[in-house]
Chain A
Amino acid sequence: MVEAPIISFKNVNKIYSNGTVGLKDINLEIPQGQFLVVVGLSGAGKSTLLRTINRMHEITSGEIKIDGEPIHAYKGQALRLLRRKIGMIFQGFNLVNRSSVERNVLSGRVSYYPTWKTLCGLFTQADREMAVRSLQRVNLADKLYTRADELSGGQQQRVAIARTLMQEPKIILADEPVASLDPLTTKAVMDTLQRLNREDNITVIVNLHSVPLARQYADRIIGLQAGQLVYDRPISEVTEADLNEIYVTEAVQA
């Protein structure tokens, strides 16, 4: 059975306004429910790739389709609805430090409301309960009323995941979600992402710098080098040597 991919890249190029090549002729299909890990050296274009999927970055040429629909023409409300079904997790967590955990989590739900309701904080009881459930899923329900900056890094990242869950996303993009975390917290965060991938069938795309982590969690690994797709294998065919090569060849060239 050949399923239509949830995300597809066709001849995608991205050149930054200063002339830097971000992405070069990317062709890529990602099926629904895959746990995809993107590896590559710093500056290879991993963040750029991720951010083109929810249009945080615009591409220069080519076409990206999500659910079979080209996304480049979306504007205003249509763009916001696209972003709603794509959650994003950041290296720096990007919580509003001075706000409570509850408010941070609820802010993931704002795209389901008209603007004026979000300004008045008029969330339905059902959504407030959903916020509690989201926090339960990341094992942080007791922190509902804590201020975000009173949490540890790992806890903040899990709050960020709970915020994303409020979007009821079909896709989660995570840009080096564990880069600033210790090994134990790293495992907690990666396990959470894996659980969402398996239980909710959410397509997860994660940028990682760690080869062991990539091998442990990925269904498939792709490698970028100077904006180009240089590696693409299902996990069953990935070897340690391959991955080292992605990191080493360029280091040698440099």
Chain B
Amino acid sequence: MSIPEAPRRSWMQRWHVKGIVVTSLLLVLLVTSSRMTGVDVGMFFSNFGQFLNLLVRMSHPDWQYANVIVRPLLETIQMAILGTTIGAAFAVPFAVLSASNLIHNRFLRGLTRLFLDLVRTLPDLLLAAIFVAVFGIGSTAGVVTLAIFSFGMVSKLFYEVIETIDMGPLEALTSVGASKVTIIWYAVLPQILNQFVSYFLYTLEINVRASTVLGYLGAGGIGVFLQRSLSEFNYSQTAVIILATLAVVLVIDGISNHLRRVLL
């Protein structure tokens, strides 16, 4: 009888070849891409003074202005909620169709994923420009843009969550004789619900910020006022808008944290 040999780490494992190779590759990529795109890091530092100057000018918020922006801020929140809700609602069936553990038909899955990739490729600014042209200036364009943007993002986040679930309950529900939809309702949904909610709120938060930028293109909300104050060099108003947006984002974050704790 021979004494079994103790397992040995291979040469690759001993010298952490994978880790080192990946890190160096990333470094090379970083350097070459900054070269190719012509990013001048030096300029960032040499022009830092201007940035400070801007900060100083913004450091005297015009609190009176807060009264003016309450309504557009509310409009922004409404836009974000509507857009996120519509986008997320449409995302659910598409997420189910993209999840490899639920849909075994590769063709169908590939097709939905391709569609989702396509949607995600469209930049939100382009979408806003298109919908402002279609619906005219106003919040409708903003809501539609945010809905499509959220749809693309949320459906990917959702199907990745679905792919991590425990398949045991699905097996059980199948063996009971449940229909596909019932199986998803009883065995999948409870497993993903709280992550769905937290991704929904995360997207909502992103959308509040995004809609400030969309306002630039005339898609309604606080963005219109942000653009106006900036073009008038009225930085004390800009400061109020930024602080107000921050407050909204913080509130959403708070709700999100609370809900996650309650639902978990």
Contact = CB atoms under 8 A, between A and B. Distances in A.
Interface of A: 54, 56, 79-84, 86-88, 90, 92-99, 103, 107-108, 110-111, 115, 118-119, 160, 163-164, 167
A214 to B, nearest CB: 23
B172 A83 contact: no
Interface string B164-189: 00101101111111110110011100
Interface string B198-230: 000000000000000000000000000000000
A90 B172 contact: yes
Contacts of B187: 96, 107
Given A92-B168, A94-B171, A163 B185 contact: no
B174 A56 contact: yes
B140 interface: no
A98 B190 CA distance: 6
B172 A110 contact: no
Nearest to A82: B177
28 contacts: A56-B171, A56-B174, A80-B177, A80-B178, A80-B179, A83-B175, A84-B176, A84-B177, A87-B175, A88-B175, A88-B176, A92-B168, A96-B169, A96-B187, A96-B190, A98-B190, A99-B190, A107-B173, A107-B186, A108-B176, A110-B177, A110-B178, A115-B182, A118-B179, A118-B185, A118-B186, A119-B181, A119-B182
Contacts of B185: 118-119
Nearest to B166: A97
Contacts, number: 80
B182 A167 contact: no
Contact of B177 (A83, A95, A99): A83
A107 B172 CA distance: 9
Contacts of A56: 171, 174-175
A223 B97 CA distance: 41
A144 to B, nearest CB: 17
Contacts of B176: 83-84, 87-88, 107-108, 110-111, 163-164, 167
B177 A118 contact: no
| Complex A-B, nearest 4 residue pairs according to Cβ-Cβ distance, in ascending order | A111-B177, A94-B168, A83-B177, A94-B172
B191 A90 contact: no
A110 B174 contact: no
Contacts of B181: 115, 119
B171 A90 contact: yes
